[in-house]
């Protein structure tokens, strides 16, 4: 009969591994959501259990002893494997739930109007949309997949290009009827400009300053403009005839197709960023991820959300 395992307390192991990996009780406390004092006490209890010192406490920080250095790689590997296997078990249990992250504007103007085609095709998968303008931590925040906007270089994530985007002025057809007429880029300045503060990336042509600069217009007076912190709100204001916005081709496609928005000028510039599918590498083989990934690539080829 095999002998019983002799294992130290798991909480003490977690505290030591985090503190040793980051060489800081404070950083370990932040990671494990406890106090630095609690981390210190757990490490001390582990040292007492082992009868060995794992750290040399110094005025300016921590230094691992030889015993601590030998112990750390094994514990890190063990905890990583435990975390991975636990996640796989949870994924099996919750395989019919899919959490998708996207920026609020993309979710409202592109993803949600199309989502019925995915749910009709996969009625057994429960989709949850988590909107955020920040980059979310997929593992810590329970995210399965995301649609990210940028250059596609996201650390620790598998990414695939979905869609490029052009930027062009758009407005309500009623605004054009009221005048003044728009025959050139300079004529845009005769109207109220709608400023989209929800543009997430610098050095792109999503903002008026960069777009107008490409046509030689600088030092433009924006004192009479209307500003919004979300692209969806900016689009609503443009549709209501409140001014001219810089339309992002992916997000305005439905409004242009319906006639709610029109392009006063046949001019468009590349945004300088693209949309990307993103998920952790080890999620790719999950059936629900494969299904959503394939569907996204299909939708990326559709000019509008219309079924026809």
What pTM did the predictor assign?
0.68
Cα 222 to Cα 82, 171, 227, 236, 284: the distances in Å are: 55, 17, 10, 20, 46
Helix boundaries (H) for 23-65:
25-32, 36-50
CB-count burial class (<10 Å; 0-12, 13-18, 19+) for 10: exposed
pLDDT by 10s per residue, the chain, length 308? 556 788 888 999 999 999 999 888 989 999 899 998 999 999 999 999 999 999 988 877 788 999 999 999 999 999 988 888 877 766 655 567 899 999 999 999 999 999 999 999 999 899 999 998 887 788 778 899 999 998 888 888 999 999 999 999 999 999 989 889 999 999 999 999 999 876 556 556 678 988 999 999 988 888 889 999 888 999 999 999 999 999 999 999 999 999 999 999 999 999 988 999 999 998 898 899 999 999 999 999 999 988 65
| pLDDT of amino acid 250 | 95
Helix boundaries (H) for 107-169:
112-121
Q: Looking at beta carbons, which pairs linking 281-284 to residues 24 or more positions away fall under 8 Å? A: 281/156, 281/157, 281/158, 282/84, 283/91, 283/144, 283/145, 283/158, 284/158
| pLDDT of amino acid 5 | 81
| pLDDT of amino acid 189 | 94
Residue 159 CB contacts under 8 Å (≥ 6 apart), including other chains = 148, 152, 153, 276, 277, 278
| pLDDT of amino acid 206 | 75
Q: Looking at beta carbons, which pairs linking 35-42 to residues 24 or more positions away fall under 8 Å? A: 39/15, 42/9, 42/11, 42/12, 42/14, 42/15, 42/16
Pick the closest to residue 197 from 273, 104, 130, 266 (CA basis).
104
């Amino acid at each position: 009969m095999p002998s019983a395992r002799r294992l130290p307390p798991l909480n003490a192991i977690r505290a030591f591994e985090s503190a040793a990996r980051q060489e800081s009780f404070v950083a370990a406390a932040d990671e494990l959501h406890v106090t630095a004092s609690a981390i210190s006490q757990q490490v001390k209890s582990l040292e007492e259990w082992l009868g060995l010192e794992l750290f040399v406490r110094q005025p300016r920080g921590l230094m691992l002893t030889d015993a601590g250095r030998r112990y750390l790689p094994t514990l890190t590997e063990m905890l990583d494997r435990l975390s991975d296997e636990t996640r796989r078990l949870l994924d099996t249990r919750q395989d019919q739930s899919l959490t998708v992250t996207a920026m609020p504007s993309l979710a409202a103007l592109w993803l949600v109007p199309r989502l019925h085609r995915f749910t009709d095709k996969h009625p057994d998968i429960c989709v949850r949309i988590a909107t955020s303008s920040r980059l979310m931590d997929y593992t810590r925040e329970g995210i399965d997949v995301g649609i990210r906007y940028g250059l596609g270089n996201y650390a620790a994530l598998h990414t695939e290009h979905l869609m490029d985007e052009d930027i062009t002025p758009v407005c309500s057809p009623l605004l054009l009827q009221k005048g003044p007429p728009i025959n050139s880029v300079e004529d845009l300045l005769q109207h109220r400009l709608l400023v989209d503060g929800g543009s997430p990336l610098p050095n792109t042509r999503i903002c008026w300053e960069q777009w107008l600069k490409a046509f030689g217009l600088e030092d433009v007076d924006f004192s009479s403009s209307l500003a919004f912190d979300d692209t969806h709100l900016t689009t609503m204001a443009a549709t209501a005839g409140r001014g001219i916005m810089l339309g992002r081709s992916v997000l305005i496609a439905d409004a242009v197709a319906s006639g709610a928005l029109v392009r006063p000028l046949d001019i468009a510039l590349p945004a300088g960023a693209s949309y990307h599918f993103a998920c952790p590498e080890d999620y790719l083989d999950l059936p629900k991820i494969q299904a959503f990934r394939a569907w996204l690539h299909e939708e990326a080829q559709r000019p509008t959300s219309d079924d026809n």
